[in-house]
Every structure is written in structure tokens, then in C-alpha cells.
């Protein structure tokens, strides 16, 4: 049993770290365009008076299983996030997003970066799946 658990852990870790690894189509709620606007810059776009000037840039491969898992976590956090930060999806499948990957030096997916209203990096998470609690803790500590 221990040997099987190690193998599962290794497989999960390998899939998180592997940038281009695709597990094939997986049903995910929504089409990935849950954000209200798609700004041309890295700066946050206020869409609601209660949304602060903080943005989470979510660098993702929409076809990758780890990115789909991270998206599900973020989607489930929508109510908690609406007063803390806006989420902007930066996708490997969008030609217009290629420069953003390069500008931020993204080397692994999924990657989350918190930026202020001017696009200045505030917090960079280690590439991989971040828990709800990890994201909320980082956003709350930034707000202080």
C-alpha cells in the first residue's frame, strides 16, 4: 500500500511540474472566461465598486489537468475573492497572452501571481496547485 501511495504522489507531482503535459479532455464547468473583461494590460480593471485594485494573474494551460484543478478551486472561491481581488486568466491557447508569459518569466503551470492596480507584482506563488486557504491567506496578508 505504501508503494502505491508513493507512485500516486510522484505521478501527481510530475503532472503539476510538467508544463506541456496534457491528460486529454476533461469536463470543467464554464469555458474559462468567467472574468468580466479581458484587459489588454496587466493592470486590474475595476468592474465593480467593491472589487479592489488587486488582480490574480492565473497563468494556465486550459487543457492541462493541474490547471483545470486550480481553476475549479478559484471558481469555487468566487464569493470570497470578489472583495479581495479580480482573477485574470492568461492562457497558453491565446496568442495574445504569449507575451505575458514571457514578461512574468512563467516556467511552470499552473502559476498564480498577485499584482496591484499598476501591474506591479506583489506575490508570486510557487508553480503548482494552490489551496483555497493558501490563496486567501496571501490576499489577506497583502491587504494589511
pLDDT for 64-99, tens place per residue? 999 999 999 999 999 999 999 999 999 999 999 999
Determine, yes or no, domain membership for 48.
yes
Q: What is the pLDDT of residue 25?
A: 32
Q: What is the pLDDT of residue 60?
A: 98
**Cα angle value 122/81/109 (rounded, 5°):** 60
pLDDT of residue 141: 84
Higher-pLDDT residue of 87 and 3 is 87
Q: What is the pTM of this model?
A: 0.66
How high does pLDDT run on average in the chain? 75
Beta bridge partners of residue 70, listed in sequence order:
none
Q: Which domain holds residue 91?
A: 30-143
Provide the pLDDT for residue 132. Answer: 97
Q: Any residues with CB less than 8 A from the CB of 135 and at least 6 apart, and which?
A: 56, 73, 74, 77, 112, 125
Write the pLDDT tens digit of every residue in 24-44. Answer: 333 333 444 333 333 333 433
Is residue 20 assigned to a domain?
A: no
Is residue 7 included in any domain, yes or no? no
pLDDT greater than 90 at residue 125: yes
Exposed/middle/buried for residue 134 (C-beta within 10 Å: 0-12, 13-18, 19+): middle
Q: Is the dihedral of CA 46, 51, 56, 62 positive or negative?
A: negative
Residue 18 lies in a domain: no
Total domains in the chain come to 1
The enclosing domain of 80 has a CATH number of 3.40.30.10
Predicted local confidence at residue 143, as pLDDT: 61
Helix then strand then coil, in percent of the chain rounded to 5, is 35, 15, 50
Using DSSP, state whether 129 is helix, strand or coil. coil
What is the average per-residue pLDDT within 121-126?
A: 96
Q: Looking at residue 3, what is its pLDDT?
A: 53
Spatial separation of the C-alpha atoms in residues 54 and 76, rounded to whole Å? 19
Amino acid at each position: 500500500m505504501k508503494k502505491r501511495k508513493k507512485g500516486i504522489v510522484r505521478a501527481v507531482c510530475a503532472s503539476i511540474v510538467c508544463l506541456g503535459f496534457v491528460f486529454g479532455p476533461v469536463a470543467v464547468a464554464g469555458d474559462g472566461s468567467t472574468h468580466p473583461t479581458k484587459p489588454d494590460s496587466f493592470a486590474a480593471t475595476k468592474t465593480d465598486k467593491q472589487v479592489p485594485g488587486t488582480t490574480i494573474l492565473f497563468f494556465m494551460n486550459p487543457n492541462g489537468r493541474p490547471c483545470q484543478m486550480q481553476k475549479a478551486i478559484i471558481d469555487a472561491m468566487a464569493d470570497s475573492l470578489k472583495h479581495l481581488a479580480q482573477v485574470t486568466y492568461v492562457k497558453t491557447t491565446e496568442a495574445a497572452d504569449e507575451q505575458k508569459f514571457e514578461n512574468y518569466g512563467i516556467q511552470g503551470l499552473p502559476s498564480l501571481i498577485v499584482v496591484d492596480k499598476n501591474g506591479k507584482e506583489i506575490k508570486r506563488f510557487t508553480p503548482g496547485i494552490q489551496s483555497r486557504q493558501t490563496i486567501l491567506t496571501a490576499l489577506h496578508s497583502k491587504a494589511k
